[in-house]
């Protein structure tokens, strides 16, 4: 059975953000991730992590304006100066939280210029922070129309082209199923590149129980493949978070 982390941007939203760390620990999680933790003081988040003996698995590099703005901008031409400035700020934050991975969001873009911009930014970031595990993640077109990185073949080609030891793949099982329709085949194709995993039911993006994905079989499959990293619950609970956590005890 994999080791599970809680995405505090999705789970335990019945509580103020800073109280979710305690709730995650009380519910059996030993690690958490936060999409964009930048509205809180890093010192306060770090204190909560220490108080509850939680690991910070992942944070995202901040897009310009998540509330109504672009979803990242690593692939958006003419934004390289801003990318570098925000990357340096994000790395400082990640180090204070001892985050294991940082996701660099591509943003909405298309075409050859966007691809070259994306690869140039990723290569620069990997060189700028060689001690940090950086990840990219394909997102499906239904949830993120126009998002540049929207398929796994492109992601693997980019990773091969850059070939940086600290740059890998964030594998979201929900997005993989939505993009390809075959989660298990996609995992097998990508497994050598995967640094971090996220889960939710498809197509609802709710608790990882019902839907198109057989999660007991998937958990067994990734264990068999040798994956030993965290598997983060990134879904929208149908009720209170604690009422839907029985999936953590599903037999495999």
Confirm whether 137 is a catalytic residue: yes
User: Residue 87: phi, psi to the nearest 5?
Assistant: -60, -45
Q: Strand locations in the chain, DSSP E?
A: 3-7, 31-34, 55-60, 101-103, 133-136, 167-172, 194-199, 230-233
The residue from 80, 137, 212, 243 that is catalytic is 137
Got the DSSP string for 34-76?
ES--TTS-HHHHHHHHHHTT-EEEEEEPPPS-TTTS-SB-TTS
Would you call the peptide bond into 203 cis, given omega within 30 degrees of 0 as the criterion? yes
What gap in Å lies between CA 241 and CA 14, rounded to an integer?
A: 8
CA 60 to chain centre: 7
Confirm whether 23 is a catalytic residue: no
Cα 74 to Cα 111, 115, 128, 204, distances in angstroms: 14, 10, 15, 28
User: Is the separation of the CB atoms in 233 and 206 below 8 Å?
Assistant: no
H or E element in which residue 197 lies: strand 194-199
Which residues are catalytically annotated? 137, 234
């Amino acid at each position: 059975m994999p080791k599970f982390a809680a995405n505090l941007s999705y789970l335990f939203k019945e509580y103020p953000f800073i109280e979710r760390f305690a709730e995650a620990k009380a519910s059996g999680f030993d690690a958490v991730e936060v999409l964009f933790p930048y509205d809180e003081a890093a010192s306060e988040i770090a204190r909560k992590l220490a108080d509850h003996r939680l690991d910070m698995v992942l944070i995202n590099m901040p897009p310009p304006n998540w509330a109504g703005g672009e979803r990242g901008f690593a692939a958006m031409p003419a934004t390289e100066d801003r990318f570098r400035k925000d990357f340096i700020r994000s790395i400082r934050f990640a180090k204070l939280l001892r985050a294991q991975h940082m996701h660099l969001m591509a943003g909405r873009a298309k075409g050859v210029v966007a691809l070259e911009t994306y690869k140039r930014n990723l290569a620069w970031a990997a060189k700028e922070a060689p001690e940090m595990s950086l990840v990219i993640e394909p997102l499906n077109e239904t949830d993120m129309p126009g998002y540049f990185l929207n398929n796994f073949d492109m992601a693997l080609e980019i990773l091969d082209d850059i070939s940086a030891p600290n740059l890998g793949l964030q594998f979201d099982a929900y997005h993989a199923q939505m993009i390809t329709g075959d989660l298990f085949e996609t995992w097998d194709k990508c497994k050598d590149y995967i640094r971090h995993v996220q889960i939710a039911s498809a197509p609802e993006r709710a608790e990882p129980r019902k839907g198109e994905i057989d999660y007991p079989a998937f958990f067994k499959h990734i264990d068999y493949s040798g994956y030993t990293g965290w598997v983060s619950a990134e879904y929208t609970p149908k009720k209170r978070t604690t009422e839907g956590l029985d999936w953590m005890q599903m037999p495999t």
